Amino acid sequence: MQNSKIPGNVFLSFPLTEEIATAMFKIYPENASRKILIVNFQTSNTVHIMFLDACSDFKRERLALQKNLNILHRTELKGPRPFILIFLINRNNTFDMRLFLNKIWGTQYYLYVTIIEVSNQASCKKQLNASQSSTQENVFVHQYNPFNDTYQVVPLFETRKLFNHKLRNLHGYILRGSHSETQQGFIPSNGISGKKYTRRHVFSLASSNSELVLMKTIAQILNFTINVTTDMSVLEMWVALRRNELDFSMNSIPTGHLSGIAGIPYFHETTYILIKQYGYTTTQFPWHLVLYIGVILVIIIITKYSLLLLGSESHFSSLYNIAMIVIGISTPVEPKKLREQILYVFLITISVFFSAEFIEYMFNITFNTKQYFVFDTLQDVVDEGISITTDNRTYILLKFDNDGEMLKFINVTVVPYQQECIDMMAQDKSEVNACFSNSILAGQMIRNYSKPQDGWIISRVKENFLVYTPHFLIARYSPYINEFSRMIQRLLESGIPMIWLNENFRMFALKNKEIASVDSTFLYHKDIDENQMIDITYNEQRLMMKLIYLLLIGYTLATFILVIEVIIKKIKKHKNVEHF
């Protein structure tokens, strides 16, 4: 027994005799008419130990045990089914234990039920011999796996586990699942967004399809089959889970007041506040420019001093000529001596770098003038006096959450639908400056609909406003929850579900363009592509305009210097003519 693995806490649960029932009814008199045994909340680490005595009225004892199990089955408790360990004291009693275990699974869905049979006792009136030598060969462990219809009987001290892992491979077992074609969770469907705003219905279908792929993946890994029902309403799904007519459902349903138990959340959806802000103008002086000018002056001075030490007194060694070379302006003076030619090559190399850097930083003085606020928390939004536009559904949630405490310190404007708020904020001239949006659409809004060329962008408040964690639901006391949660956890760690979700969003947007209405095309897939192109080309246009400006300024300066040189040359030529 040292290697036997019994989960957590052990609870003793005996057949409900008249004495025990009477005591329970005295403690809980309101349950006397219903004869319900009050049981505390049990988790997956609970083991109920029961006894069946074949030496007494065996049929009565067996019916009492089944009654106890039925009481546990009908309670309103949530969580996986407890483990059941039954000690059967049997003296040549013909009792079909396989049929008994099969019935417990088929009617009450207890999977981990183990019977330890103590048989061949000399007399029912004698006490059991506790010595190992006389009981080892007469104690057997009975286990049944309904998924592959296998029944196992082994001596107690030859088994290493009292509860075998039966969900490791379901071997083609058929489960009953529910799935809605319209996702009913964090992305509003047509009924929530309104008749005129049906583009988000496409995303609802995409999310729902991702859940179906997740369900099929779990089935494939665990080697079982799912009969999926898709024509159930939310209420019908809840009732079916309550009655164990469904094994599980995947509809992105929030937890709380539902009848089913929630598995691990497979999508983590967050509601953020989007802010439309026009920013503020500021002048960013490039202080590196001062450093570069200083370096140029130092190079000019060192070059001039070096030429003086080398004894060069030509026009090439003048400060004016050296400065023109370093800045990148052509000069009429040619280096004639070898030392002057060497310094000329050195100065030309320097001018290639410093002239470009100089002009670049000069342009940065005028290009980087727009700054935008960073909103870290909701308090930052309140401090700026920004009015948040929300839809009726979100407003009702805020109104009844903590008695509307949130609405006491934020300025809220209500519109019928969330999509209407987003459409209005995306317009150039709009009074809507803040909307609520889930994280998926928030990223698209920021990337595709900010217009810094028009002086405004869309940003996101870093602090999440609402957190939503959709779960899959499983029938009460289902034995599947631990295994399903483990599989989904592994999938989440790999990042595969979010890849499916993003891919389904893209494919549904391409294939279901007829769902989007013609009059308003905010989330229509062509507009998404176009806006992405506009966003990319705008960045390219900024760089191209900057390059054009640099070239124009460079050519203008070169032309100006050329004109000055021509004029100076003509003046010198005219003076030479007059001199002769």
Distance of CA 214 to the CA centre of its chain: 15
pLDDT of residue 73: 64
The upper half-sphere exposure of residue 60, i.e. CA atoms within 13 Å in the direction of its Cβ, equals 6
Q: Give the whole-angstrom CA distance, residue 337 versus residue 329.
A: 21
Q: What's the rounded mean pLDDT across residues 27-45?
A: 37
Place of tokens 């390219």: 540
pLDDT of residue 280: 73
Q: Give the whole-angstrom CA distance, residue 72 versus residue 31.
A: 15
* Portion of the chain with pLDDT greater than 90, in percent: 1
**Which sequence spans correspond to the domains of the chain?**
18-124+134-158, 167-267+477-514, 273-281+370-468, 287-362, 541-572
**What's the pLDDT tens digit per position in 329-377?**
777 777 777 777 787 777 777 776 666 666 666 555 554 556 778 888 8
pTM beyond 0.85: the answer is: no
Q: Is the pLDDT of residue 16 over 70?
A: no
Confirm whether 167-267+477-514 and 273-281+370-468 share one CATH topology. yes
CA distances from 482 to 81, 101, 104, 106, 224 (A): 10, 21, 20, 20, 16
**What's the pLDDT tens digit per position in 494-514?**
777 667 666 666 665 565 554
**What's the pLDDT tens digit per position in 516-547?**
333 333 333 333 333 333 333 444 555 666 66
pLDDT of residue 412: 82
Query: Average model confidence (pLDDT) for the chain?
Result: 67
Q: Is the pLDDT of residue 113 over 80?
A: yes
Q: What's the rounded mean pLDDT across residues 289-313?
A: 75
Q: Is the pLDDT of residue 252 over 70?
A: no
* Portion of the chain with pLDDT greater than 70, in percent: 55
Q: Which of the pair, 250 or 34, is modelled with greater confidence?
A: 250
- What is the DSSP track for 448-468? HH-BGGGTBEEEE-SS-SEEE
**What's the pLDDT tens digit per position in 129-183?**
544 444 445 888 999 988 778 898 988 887 778 888 787 667 677 788 887 766 5
Out of 1.10.10, 3.40.190, 2.40.50, 3.40.50, which CATH number does the structure's domain 273-281+370-468 have? 3.40.190
pLDDT-based confidence at 65, cuts 50/70/90?
confident
Closest alpha carbon to 472 in 213, 246, 211, 169: 211
The bridge status of strand 412-415 relative to strand 434-438 is: unpaired
Q: What's the rounded mean pLDDT across residues 426-445?
A: 74
pLDDT of residue 526: 32
**Whether the Cβ atoms of residue 7 and residue 83 lie closer than 8 Å to each other:** yes
CATH, domain range 167-267+477-514: 3.40.190.10
Q: Is the pLDDT of residue 399 over 60?
A: yes
pLDDT-based confidence at 421, cuts 50/70/90?
confident
pLDDT-based confidence at 218, cuts 50/70/90?
confident
Return the ∠ at Cα 351 (arms to 348 and 353), rounded to 5°.
125
**What's the pLDDT tens digit per position in 187-210?**
443 444 444 444 455 555 656 666
| Stretch among 338-342, 455-459, 524-528, 550-554 having the lowest mean pLDDT | 524-528
**Whether the Cβ atoms of residue 128 and residue 121 lie closer than 8 Å to each other:** yes
Top-confidence range, 68-77, 374-383, 438-447: 374-383
Top-confidence range, 148-157, 230-239, 393-402: 148-157
